[in-house]
Each structure stands twice: as C-alpha cells, then as structure tokens.
Amino acid sequence: MKKNISVAIDGPSAAGKSTIAKMVAKKENFIYIDTGAMYRCVAYYCLTQKIDLNDEKAVEQAIEHIQIRLTPDNKVYLNDEDVSNQIRQDQVSLGASCVSKYQAVRSFLVDEQRKMAKAGNVILDGRDIGTVVLPNANLKIYQIASVETRAKRRYLENLERGLDADLETIKKEIEERDYQDTHREISPLKKAEDAIELDTSSLTLEEVVEQVLTLIQKAKEE
C-alpha cells in the first residue's frame, strides 16, 4: 500500500469537481487543494483593482501583490481577506478562465499548488491537474456532465448563496467557458490519457462520491 495518495480531478466548469473533491477529502481525511479558487482569486483581485483582464502585462504585474491561503474548513483568503463567496460570482468565473491563459499566472499558481501537494494524501481539482500540475498523480479522474445539468447546478448554487441567477444566462456562460478552456493555447482543458472518465449527469452527489472512493481504494491497493 502506498503511503501517500494524490488524486487529480479534471473537467469542465460546473461539473461538480470541487463539491465532490471536498466531500471525498473529508471522508478520506485528505487535504483538499482548491485550484479553481486560486485562479478565481487572481481574477477577483484584478477586477476589484480595475485591472484590464485582457492586459496580460498588467495581470502579470498584479500577481506580485497576491497571496492566497486555503484553510482546512474550505475558506479562501486573498491577502488575508476571506473571499470565499465573492470569488464564486459568474463574472469572476469568466475572469478566471481569461487570466488562466497567461503563462505567468499559470506558472505562479502551479508552483504554489505543487508545494501544497507535497504534504501527501491530497486531492486537487481543476482543468489541467492530471496533465500539467500532477502528471504522476496516483489517480486521475475526468469528471463531466451535460451543459444543461451543469447550468442547473450552478443556478441552484447561486440561489443558495443569495446571488442573482438566470438559468439561460448561466447556460450561455458555461458554453462560453467551455470554449475558452478547450481552445486556449496554454494548458487547454483535456482528458489525461490515463484518466478515468466519470459522467455525473444522472448521478447524485452521494453516488459520485462512492464511485470516487472506490477508485481511491483501488489506487491504494496498487
């Protein structure tokens, strides 16, 4: 049995990766590293500082002033400010996809993520965990769901957070995000060759968690 297990969950926006990763991490007592939140922090910082997200040089300079801290209770701190809810807004989600195209941003955050992952028994989710961040992860999962399913999930999620939400708008934003993520030049969203595809469109959260736990158990036994 391996002493430490690293799990990489990749997939498109709103596929439920973070939710599943958090639930699995709690059950397995793994460290959860929310990589998506880290990109959202960069976008949120730029938006609040009125920095043009399309100005690569300006964004690159901005990361010099960014410190991100993730806590065991899933709180996200940007320069010591709790931004856990603010970074989940749809505008920030689109902004995260934009800034993630820049090599300087990716290099900065990938380095931070790898440092965090050295702790062992970790689970990370994102767009390029299994292909770029942790190519040697013990278990790689490519989690997908239909656009309609993902839009409904994000819609309900926003309502629960007390945020304004329109289902059709969210659907269009998800389709736009999918296109951006799969067509960007640097680390585009794609399934790692050795990743196990998991379609969650017709599954409950509990069913997805059970499938992932089963896969982790198999990885431990290898």
Annotated binding site: 11-19
Residue 131: C-alpha distances to residues 27, 77, 196 (Å): 25, 27, 13
Query: What is the Rg, in whole angstroms, of the alpha carbon atoms belonging to the chain?
Result: 17
Give binding residues for ATP as ranges.
11-19
C-alpha span between 61 and 73 (Å, rounded): 30
Helix axes 90-99, 167-183, angle to 10 degrees: 10
Token pair for 42: 């960069």
Sheet holding 122-126, edge to edge: 31-34, 122-126, 6-10, 139-144, 196-199
